[in-house]
Chains A and B, each alone.
Chain A
Amino acid sequence: MPGAVKINGQNAGHLGPNDRRQAGLVTGPEERLGHAAAPDMSLTENALLTGVLRKGLAKNGFIDWAKTRDYAAEVIKTFDVRTPGTHTAARALSGGNLQKFVIGREILQEPGIIIVNQPTWGVDAAAAAFIRQALLNRAAAGAAVVVISQDIDELLEVGDRFAALNEGRLSDPVPTLGLTVDQIGLMLGGAHGMHKAEVQHAEA
């Protein structure tokens, strides 16, 4: 069926967030505070927010706080999140550190598929490089990584294939290797789906 969302061949379009996580799909939303993380909750609680299923942080509905704290600490350590500790409220972190935390929280769940939206938006250069490398490492480990971004340089850096969304239509993905800014401009302008000749005409 065209337009169906499938995970490992199983329809996933109708699944809720937790069933998708169970199937191996994790996501990093664009908005850090209020969507990816609850601002007034501690990093431990925010680790529980998405990690509960894949990390087995609750049993029969009862939360294993010690295990959850350990997971939060693992994310903080592995992703070099600068914070006093797991008890800190998410809103007390800088943008870059919180972003490292929420991306790290997803990556350490070892997902089969990870979709991130604006992963380095408003993040300092060092943190941004770290996050991109972490995504690449995850891809090297065999995961499918989908990066949605307004930062074209970022997409060219992390992506193997590139697709543009224009007026609700996604272009066919093309290899990023050798892709020029002109071609990207055409794709963003909706030139995808045109005949080769027209594209060449437009380029001329």
Chain B
Amino acid sequence: MLRLEKRPNPSQFWLYATPVVAVLLTMLAGGAMFAILGKNPFEVIRTIFWDPLFGEFAWYLRGQLLVKAGPLVLIAVGLSLGFRAGIWNIGAEGQYIMGAIFGAAVGLAVFPTENRLIFPVMIVAGVFGGWVWAMIPAILKTRFNTNEILVSLMLVYVAQTILAMASTGFLRNPEGAGFPGSRNFSSYPAGANPELIAGSGMHWGVVAALVTVIAAYILLQRHLLGFQIKLAGQAPRAARFHGVDPNKLVVLCMGISGALAGVAGLFEVTGPAGQISIDFNVGYGFTAIIVAFLGRLNPIGILLAGLLMALTYIGGEMAATNLGLPSAAIQVFQGMLLFFLLGVDVLTNFRIRPIFMGAR
């Protein structure tokens, strides 16, 4: 028999060992799944984790790694602040879409004007779009005590419907021969978010993600607001005793995560995606939840987790095309990562004690 015993102090060792152990367990269990699917597990795992970094096409795929990790990190850092405070914004995907629509709409409204200020204004509009979409669950929660998890999640589907309307209606390319989708920003330099160095994958969204990681790190380590966020999550009564207004914190955390998700959407639609289309969103807002937890809700951890998750995306795609693996298997693989992470996480606060026969 085994028994869980609460540790007096959280284990520093397991705090950092947990993600590593979770990745190893995911490789084991995932390898078994790939074997059952009739693939060579070593080949699949090499394709996912090794080839994108050091394989034949690494020169291209390393750039793609940044392209995919950028929005994940940007969204996950925002979410992590709320998650630490016990505020569950599950609707980053919707805020991401709305940020993209708001930002793109501003840019497309002034097409084809060329002005250096257009892109900065689009960024502001993207931030605003995501923020507004997050304010709906935030204000419903603070005013009417609704559940922010449900409301923010449901608003994702509303946002997707608005996205479909935008790409087939009010933002459709008038020169697009009736096809759905907006003008492509790659042919509109004033509103485009190109690679800063060709082939590097580095665009303004990646820069923003790095800046956000640093800012969030300082906020959590040095600023009173970061302290209040942690305190509200760990001991809500102590937080009120300290002087935290829970409603203000909800509005603030939802606002920050919405704004960051929105700006991530703006950078994506003007850069890698290029245009508003019905399915331009690929689930970054949901995957960012996994990234936030995989990174221990810690900004630096999230940066690493975002890169790792991007790796499984790119490697997974390669495994799907080169080895004929169903893409659902890759999603299961990514899900396993979160599952094992949360499972092993118990060891941070608990230790396992074997109970011997006869002993109590």
Q: Which of A1-51 contact B (CB under 8 A)?
A: 16-18, 21, 27, 29, 31, 34-41, 45, 48-50
* Chain A hits for B224, CB < 8 A: 52, 58, 61-63
Q: How far is the CA of A61 from the CA of B221 in the complex (A)?
A: 12
**Listed stretches B72-80, B235-243, B257-265, B352-360; interface member:** B235-243
* Contact of B10 with A by CB under 8 A: yes
Is the CB–CB distance between B241 and A36 below 8 Å? yes
Which residue of the partner chain, among B223, B234, B235, contacts A62 with CB atoms under 8 Å?
B223
Secondary structure at the A interface, as helix, strand, loop or mixed, is mixed
What 0/1 readout, one digit per residue, does chain B (210-225) give for beta carbons within 8 Å of chain A?
0000000000001111
Report yes or no: B243 in contact with A38, Cβ–Cβ below 8 A: no
- Contacting pair A34 B8 (CB below 8 A): no
Given contacts A41-B231, A62-B222, A63-B227, contact A36 B238 (CB under 8 A): yes
Interface bits B232-252 vs A (CB < 8 Å: 1, else 0): 001101111111010000000
B-chain residues with CB within 8 Å of residue A37 when the two chains form the complex:
235, 238
B235 touches A34 (CB 8 A): yes
Contact A38 B223 (CB under 8 A): no
Q: Could you say which residues of chain B place their CB within 8 Å of the CB of A62?
A: 222-224
Is B115 engaged at the interface, CB distance under 8 Å to the other chain? no
Q: Chain B 270-290, CB within 8 Å of chain A: the 1/0 string?
A: 000000000000000000000
Q: Give the size category of A's interface with B.
A: 20 to 34
User: Is A89 an interface residue, CB under 8 A from the partner?
Assistant: yes
Q: Is the CB of B231 within 8 A of A89?
A: no
Question: A63 is contacted by which of B9, B222, B235, B237 (Cβ under 8 Å)?
Answer: B222
Q: How far is the CA of A58 from the CA of B238 in the complex (A)?
A: 18
Of A38, A39, A50, A89, the most chain B CB neighbours within 10 A belong to A38
Judge whether A48 and B238 touch: CB under 8 Å. Answer: no
In the complex, whether A92 has a CB less than 8 A from a CB of chain B is yes
**Which listed residue (B223, B230, B237) contacts A34, Cβ 8 A?**
B237
B8 touches A29 (CB 8 A): no
A171 is an interface residue with CB less than 8 A from chain B: no
Question: Once the chains bind, are A35 and B9 in contact (CB under 8 Å)?
Answer: no
A88 adjacent to chain B (CB < 8 Å): yes
- Nearest CB in chain B to that of A92: its residue: B8
Distance in angstroms from B236 CB to nearest chain A CB is 8
A21-B242 Cα distance, complex, nearest whole Å: 10
Please name the residue on chain B nearest to A53 by beta carbon: B243
Q: Are A49 and B241 in contact (CB under 8 A)?
A: yes
Contact B222 A50 (CB under 8 A): no
Known: A16-B243, A35-B237, A39-B235. A45 touches B8 (CB 8 A): no
Residues of chain B within 8 A of A21, CB atoms compared = 243
In the complex the two chains form, is B9's CB within 8 Å of A38's CB?
no
How far apart are the CA atoms of A89 and B8 in the complex, in Å? Answer: 8
Please report the C-alpha to C-alpha distance between residue A21 and residue B225 in the assembled complex, in whole angstroms.
Answer: 19
Complex CA gap A65/B67 in Å reads 37
Distance in Å: Cβ of B290 to nearest Cβ of chain A: 24
* Chain A residues positioned under 8 Å from B10 (CB to CB): 40, 89
A91 to B238, CA, bound (A): 13
Task: Give every chain B residue within 8 A of A41 (Cβ-Cβ).
Answer: 230-231, 234-235
**Nearest chain-A residue to B8 (Cβ)?**
A92
A17→B241 contact, CB < 8 A? yes
> In the complex, how many angstroms separate the beta carbon of B116 from the nearest chain A beta carbon?
33
Q: Report the separation of the CA atoms of residues A37 and B231 in the bound assembly, to the nearest whole angstrom.
A: 10
Q: Across the interface, name the chain B residue whose C-beta is closest to A59.
A: B224
Interface residues of A in 108-128 (CB under 8 A from B): none
A37 nearest CB neighbor, chain B only: B238
Q: Which chain A residues (61-105) contact chain B, with CB distance < 8 Å? A: 61-63, 65, 88-89, 91-92
A61 / chain B contacts, CB cutoff of 8 Å: 223-225
Q: How far is the CB of A8 from chain B (nearest CB, A)?
A: 20
Chain A residues contacting B243 (CB-CB under 8 Å) are 16-18, 21
Instruction: Report yes or no: A50 in contact with B237, Cβ–Cβ below 8 A.
Output: no
How far apart are A94's CB and chain B's nearest CB, in angstroms?
A: 11
**Known A31-B237, A34-B237, A63-B223; contact A49-B9, beta-carbon cutoff 8 A:** no
Distance to closest chain A CB from B32 (angstroms): 36
Known: A39-B235, A40-B234, A62-B222. A50 touches B8 (CB 8 A): no
- Other A-B contacts than A61-B223, A63-B222, 7 sampled, CB-CB below 8 A, are A17-B241, A36-B238, A37-B238, A39-B234, A49-B238, A58-B224, A89-B9
Q: List 5 A-B contacts (CB under 8 A).
A: A17-B241, A38-B234, A38-B239, A63-B222, A89-B10
The 4 closest A-B pairs by CB, nearest first: A18-B243, A38-B235, A92-B8, A17-B243
